[in-house]
Amino acid sequence: MADRTVLERLLEAGITQDRAMHHLSDRWVRVDGEIITDPAHLAEPPVQVELRFNLLFDESGN
């Protein structure tokens, strides 16, 4: 599948759409280290999509 979005990648990982949207709005989703809130943001592999739930991280990733 070409031009996959962050939302599509999260759904492929088994996360429900409601939960994925929650993670995006809470700023827990990162693409190659950058916080992403837009579910339509492109995230075609090989970019890394990750969730960071640790509230100790600030926006710089520290």
Beta strand extents in the chain (DSSP E only):
29-31, 34-35, 49-51
Residue 23 near residue 49 (C-beta atoms within 8 A): no
Tokens of 39: 């579910």
Tell me: pLDDT of 61 over 80.
no
Q: What does pTM read for this prediction?
A: 0.82
pLDDT of 27: 95
Question: Coil, strand, or helix at residue 11?
Answer: helix
pLDDT of 38: 98
4-50 pLDDT per residue, tens? 999 999 999 999 999 999 999 999 999 999 999 999 999 999 999 99
User: Which residues 6+ apart lie within 8 Å of 40 measured at CB?
Assistant: 5, 6, 7
